[in-house]
Amino acid sequence: MKYSIPVAYALWAISGFGALGLHRFYLGKTGTGFLWLVSGGLAGAGGLYDLFTLPRQVQDANMRYDAQMMLAQGAASMQGNRYGSADGLSYRRADSPEKTILRVARKNAGQVTPGEVAIEGDLSVEDARKELDKLAKSGMAEVRVRQSGVIVYYFPEFADKHPSDFVDLG
């Protein structure tokens, strides 16, 4: 519901030139509406103030209304769509799988598993493994096996020091 200046002025006039504060209730200002109601529009001074500022108050109320509608539409269109909206505009660009992998590697001192990448990048584990294999083939990463048997992709440029918890396959 958009607010109207003529309606606001009509309510202002009907309520004793602002003394009852009906126009403030209409504009969503319930706190000052009650104040105007119990104080007679601050003994008429508030009603006089509203006479001159009512167009701006209506504009502010319409801006608040528009912001609430945009938030409601944005929340509805973002349901199930993390990076975009129903109208095709992107609010946040999804990172490439490679960038996600490198971010995880930096965070984990160079050690990355497909599961970690899948969680961080909204990828399947198989897609994460394929992307990690591509980086390993290009020489960016090494495939290593932890003593526990877990396959880890190791990025030396993000490592603090040479880890000793790997099994030597060579």
Q: What are φ and ψ of residue 15, in 5° steps? A: -85, 30
Query: Among 114, 120, 116, which residue's Cα sits nearest to residue 151?
Result: 114
- Give the pLDDT confidence score for residue 167 in this predicted structure: 60
- Give the pLDDT confidence score for residue 165 in this predicted structure: 60
Last residue of a domain, one of 51, 78, 105: 78
pLDDT tens for each residue of the chain, 170 residues long: 688 889 988 888 888 888 888 888 888 888 888 888 888 888 888 888 888 988 998 898 888 888 888 887 776 655 555 555 555 555 556 778 889 899 998 998 889 999 999 998 888 999 999 999 999 999 989 999 888 888 899 998 888 766 566 666 65
Task: Answer yes or no: do 107 and 136 share one domain.
Answer: yes
Does 85 reside within a domain? no
Tokens 């930096």 label which residue? 106
Q: What is the pLDDT of residues 24-33, one digit of tens each?
A: 888 888 888 8
CB 58 within 8 A of CB 5: yes
Task: Answer yes or no: do 115 and 61 share one domain.
Answer: no
Q: Residue 151 in 3-state DSSP?
A: strand
Does 110 reside within a domain? yes
Task: Answer yes or no: do 70 and 104 share one domain.
Answer: no
Does 167 reside within a domain? no
- The number of folded domains in the chain is 2
Does 83 reside within a domain? no
CB 165 within 8 A of CB 147: yes
Contacts of 145-151 with CB under 8 Å at 24 or more apart are: 145/169, 150/113, 151/113, 151/114
Does 120 reside within a domain? yes
CA-to-CA dists, residue 115 to 20, 81, 112, 128, 140, angstroms: 64, 22, 8, 8, 19
Predicted structure pTM score: 0.43
- Give the pLDDT confidence score for residue 93 in this predicted structure: 62
The CA distance from 64 to 46, in Å, is: 22
Does 163 reside within a domain? no
Does 166 reside within a domain? no
CB 78 within 8 A of CB 85: yes
Does 48 reside within a domain? yes
Structural domain containing residue 41: 5-78
